[in-house]
Amino acid sequence: MDDQFDKDLKKRIREVFDNYEDDSADKGWALLRKKYPGKAKKYPIAWMWWSSAAAVLLLFLGILWFKQSPEKQQQHFTVIKKGSHNKQPVKTSGTTNDQNAVDNTAVQQPDHTLANATDHKTPVRLRVATTPNHVVTSSKDQGIFASNVRTKPAGKTPANSPIINDQNNHSPAANSSVNTTTLASAVKPTDTNPENPSNVAKPGTENLSVSKSNATAAAPGITLQQPDQLNKQLLANNKQDSKQKGLSKNNLVHFGIYAASYLNYAKGSSSRFNVGAGFSADINLTRKLKVSTGIAIAQNSLSYPGQPVFSTPAGINMAPLALYSASTLQYSVSEPSFRNYSANLVGIDIPVNLKYTFDPGKSETYLLAGLSSGTFIDETYTYSFSNSQAQSQSAHGGFYFAKMLNLAIGTGYRVGSNRLIIEPFLKYPLDGIGSQQIRFGSGGVNLKFSIPSQRR
Amino acid sequence: MRPPNRIAEDELIQQCKSGSLRYQELLYKQFYGYAMSVGLRYCIDRDDALEVVNDAFIKVFNSMKNYDTAKPFKAWLRTIIVNTAIDRRRKDFKLQLNTDLNGAEYLPAHTNVIDTLNAQDILNLMRELPAIQLAIFNLYEVDGYNHDEIGVILNIPASSSRVYLSRAKEKLRKMIKTETQNHG
């Protein structure tokens, strides 16, 4: 009896709940969404978070890299500059007559013989890092890394140091040029003058410096230098050449983009905050003087509360007011009074400025002055009256030429390989501009982001 | 027969596996009734059941990638709901484990009354049971678990499960008899 009851009850329960319908799914889903936002919403936030983190990291690494690389370049330059008294590249040709070049780079030992000098025309690059001793003569005009040259008593020279046999019986004077590869393996130190300890250098002396007398006596043109040093010197010389030549082609024009936030001002108008953006190009005239030009789009708005400024030379066109008054008088005994006048102008500004940089390459602080020309792509003048009516008028004032004086002072900060320039500026109107010849100016700050020239 | 506006279960599940919130919503709404039917049997009221169901669906969505499509989705969903409900009421079970198991009075059953019970009647009857008896009754009689499995789930001996089930049945019989007598 009970079993049957239980079976019937179980059957009934299953039957009822298998077919259970509930129409509150929407409410249930809404509740679930409070706990479960879903990946669709989470994903962009996560993406933004990670991309922001990546951007910050890249920026940080960029700054780090940028801070380090100029130092390295500067170090290279400094080292080379110490060694090379002349600003000319290393000349390896045996035909050179430049005494300085010989002094700095040419190595010739009267006691040394360089074997296997088969190619007399090949410039020499001598790898001598493994040589235990180099016989050098002291000189008051030592070559590259001359300060590193340390003398060593001749007695410490290994007695069994291999002596390079001059198989060709080349005298030093005749040894004008040596094949690099053969030299790298063939040159071994020989101390043939043990009575002259000052002529012996330590193995660490990587560079072979030469006395003037030896260099003079040497055959012209044997230049022995480590490849690294040579490369450094070449690099430095290239840079120096660039400097000497002045500004390279890449540095002739610098481009930048900028955003401006400023207040428009005019006589009788309340100041209005506006923004603009533009593209700039700085053309180098000299190292410190540039012509700065570009193009910008800028919003300008002015608001004249109360009575319009009739006396303003750049007078507001009151024709709409007159028309309005005439028409409304037909219907109204009391003429509505003028309440507000506003002008909104979206302009294209083309400045031509002279830019004087005080300390180029350092803080890049500069002073800028010039004139702006331009036009307005949209001019809207709105007249408001006391009865809450307003009348708008659109116009186009044509192109104006050099009617705005630009004054600015700016300073730059390095941001990675780029430069962020903060440039407070003032635009002073020299005459009325726009279709209603309003004389207005602006003052604010440009945030300029210079686009770096392509590096070579 | 499946309503024509319903999306195929396989497609729903595949889309949910890819994390589509839209299809998760569709899946939720398609199985909401079934999920509530399970949740309501284990919970003390509708709000409680809804929370259980939602928590279970969140587990489903989060674990969907691991779901074996070879197995029926309903069974998987039911298991998750049951486990969620049991976990939620586990503290109630502990309180009632030590309560005196009063023997239910034997009453003759009226099987014809059973056929008239609707979902709400059954739920009302079930909610008169102590939580652990309710859980064991549902697990054993409706959802098909055996006493060993119930013992593992509820962390009680299988023998205790049998006793609680017996008490639950007796109590239900008594309640149905009482209801029958009251209504004539």
- % helix, strand, coil for chain A, step of 5: 30, 30, 40
The pLDDT of residue B111: 56
- Among residues A258, A293, A257, A264, the alpha carbon closest in space to that of A426 is found at A264
Which amino acid, A351? P
Query: For residue B141, what are the CA distances in angstroms to A412, B147, B154?
Result: 80, 11, 16
- In B, minimum Cα distance to A25 occurs at B29
CB contact under 8 A, A35 and B172: no
- Among residues B77, B85, B79, B74, the alpha carbon closest in space to that of B41 is found at B85
Q: What angle do CA A32, A37, A41 make, to 5 degrees?
A: 150
- Among residues A380, A358, A366, the alpha carbon closest in space to that of A434 is found at A380
Residue B31 to residue B37: CA distance in whole angstroms = 10
Q: Which residues of B touch A20 (CB under 8 A)?
A: 33-34, 36-37, 40, 119
How close are the terminal C-alpha atoms of chain B, in Å?
38
CB contact under 8 A, A17 and B58: no
Residue A353 to residue A141: CA distance in whole angstroms = 49
CB contact under 8 A, A16 and B118: yes
Residue B151 to residue B157: CA distance in whole angstroms = 5
Return the structure tokens found at A122. 């090949």
Residue B33 has pLDDT above 50, yes or no: yes
CB B27 within 8 Å of CB B12: yes
Return the structure tokens found at B127. 């909610």
- Among residues A426, A417, A429, the alpha carbon closest in space to that of A446 is found at A426
- In B, minimum Cα distance to A2 occurs at B109
**CB-defined contacts A:B, below 8 A:** 95
The predicted-structure confidence for B148-162, as pLDDT tens digits, reads as follows: 999 999 989 999 999
Of how many residues is chain A composed? 456
Residue A331 to residue A387: CA distance in whole angstroms = 13
Determine the 3-state secondary structure of A180 from DSSP.
helix
Query: For residue A343, what are the CA distances in angstroms to A296, A301, A398, B75?
Result: 19, 5, 16, 71
Chain B residues interacting with chain A (CB cutoff of 8 angstroms):
19-21, 24-25, 28-29, 32-34, 36-38, 40-41, 50, 53-55, 57-58, 61, 108-109, 111, 114-115, 117-119, 122, 141-142, 169, 172-173, 176
Residue A312 to residue A296: CA distance in whole angstroms = 27
Tell how many helices (H) and how many strands (E) occur in chain A: 8, 11
Return the structure tokens found at A352. 């031509």
Task: Tell me which residue has tokens 């019937």.
Answer: A8
Kindly give the confidence (pLDDT) of every residue in chain A, 456 residues in length, as a single tens digit, with 9 standing for 90 and above: 678 888 888 888 888 888 888 888 999 999 898 888 655 445 555 666 667 777 777 777 777 676 665 555 555 444 444 444 444 444 444 444 444 443 444 344 444 444 444 444 444 444 444 444 444 444 444 444 444 444 444 444 444 444 444 444 444 444 444 444 334 444 444 444 444 444 444 444 444 444 444 444 444 444 445 556 656 666 666 555 545 444 454 568 888 889 999 999 888 888 888 999 998 988 888 888 889 999 999 989 888 876 544 444 444 444 444 444 444 444 444 455 666 778 888 889 999 999 998 877 777 789 999 999 988 888 888 877 766 666 777 777 788 888 899 999 998 887 777 788 889 999 999 988 888 788 899 999 998 888 766 544
CB A445 within 8 Å of CB A277: no
Contact residues for A418 (Cβ-Cβ < 8 A; gap 6+): A449, A450, A451, A452
Question: To the nearest whole angstrom, how far is the Cα of B43 from the nearest Cα of chain A?
Answer: 14
The residues that bridge with B11 in the sheet, in sequence order, are none
Q: Which of A45-49, A433-437, B28-32, B111-115 has the weakest average pLDDT?
A: A45-49
CB A412 within 8 Å of CB A450: yes
Question: To the nearest whole angstrom, how far is the Cα of A57 from the nearest Cα of chain B?
Answer: 30
Contact residues for B90 (Cβ-Cβ < 8 A; gap 6+): B154
Instruction: Name the packing angle between helices B119-126 and B21-42 (round to 10°).
Output: 60
Task: Tell me which residue has tokens 């060709």.
Answer: A168
The residues that bridge with B92 in the sheet, in sequence order, are none
Return the structure tokens found at A206. 């990587």
State the Cα torsion B19-B22-B26-B32 to the nearest 10°: 70
Residue B96 has pLDDT above 90, yes or no: no
CB contact under 8 A, B58 and A32: yes
Q: Is some CB atom of chain B closer than 8 A to the CB atom of A331?
A: no
Distance of CA A238 to the CA centre of its chain: 20
| H or E segment to which residue A304 belongs | strand A289-305
The pLDDT of residue A49: 63
Select from B31, B40, B54 the residue whose CB has the most chain A CBs within 10 Å, as the one to mutate to test that interface.
B54
Which long-range contacts (C-beta less than 8 Å, at least 24 apart) are formed by B109-113?
A: B109/A1, B109/A2, B109/A4, B109/A5, B109/A8, B109/B173, B109/B176, B109/B177, B110/B176, B110/B177, B110/B180, B111/A4, B111/A5, B111/A8, B113/B176, B113/B179, B113/B180
CB contact under 8 A, B50 and A28: yes
Q: Which residues of B touch A8 (CB under 8 A)?
A: 109, 111, 114-115
The pLDDT of residue A141: 43
CB contact under 8 A, B122 and A10: no
Q: Which residues of A touch B53 (CB under 8 A)?
A: 28
Task: Tell me which residue has tokens 């059954």.
Answer: B122
Determine the 3-state secondary structure of A77 from DSSP.
helix
Residue B76 has pLDDT above 90, yes or no: yes
Return the structure tokens found at A74. 């500067």
CB contact under 8 A, B111 and A29: no
Of how many residues is chain B composed? 184
| Mean predicted lDDT score pLDDT of chain B | 83
From the list B33, B37, B114, which residue is nearest A9 (CB)? B114
Determine the 3-state secondary structure of A348 from DSSP.
strand
Averaged pLDDT, B109-130 = 81
The residues that bridge with A366 in the sheet, in sequence order, are A357, A410
CB contact under 8 A, B21 and A38: yes
Residue B166 to residue B140: CA distance in whole angstroms = 11
